Amino acid sequence: MVLDRSRVECCVVQDDEQMEAVVRRLPDASSFGRRLNVVEFEKDDDSNFHMEFIVASSNLRAENYDISPADRHQVHLSSCDDNLTS
């Protein structure tokens, strides 16, 4: 995959005014034709794929910051921490 630097640099936000301009350009959420619903995070229910999402997100972050990726078990243990779930 080739990274197009011109597209990336245009998306880097420098200050609050620039951030507000970016937000104004976003389409209205109602234009997507779908309604978003809040879902409770449930780490012990494999049918909802919550842990798979968390593991994938964690490993994408690890790749970006050149740190060691975590397996599903390590992420599950981290999600059991009271500071994360309360």
Contact status, residue 86 vs residue 53, Cβ threshold 8 Å: no
pLDDT value of residue 59: 94
Give the per-residue pLDDT at 13.
60
Query: Which tokens in the block code for residue 44?
Result: 């012990």
Quote the tokens at residue 48: 């909802």
Residue 59: name the closest of 75, 47, 46 by CA. 75
Q: Is residue 75 within 8 Å of 58, Cβ to Cβ?
A: yes
Sequential pLDDT tens for the chain (86 residues): 555 555 555 556 667 888 888 889 988 877 888 777 888 888 888 899 999 999 999 999 999 999 999 998 888 888 776 545 44
Distance in angstroms between the alpha carbons of the first and the last residue of the chain: 40
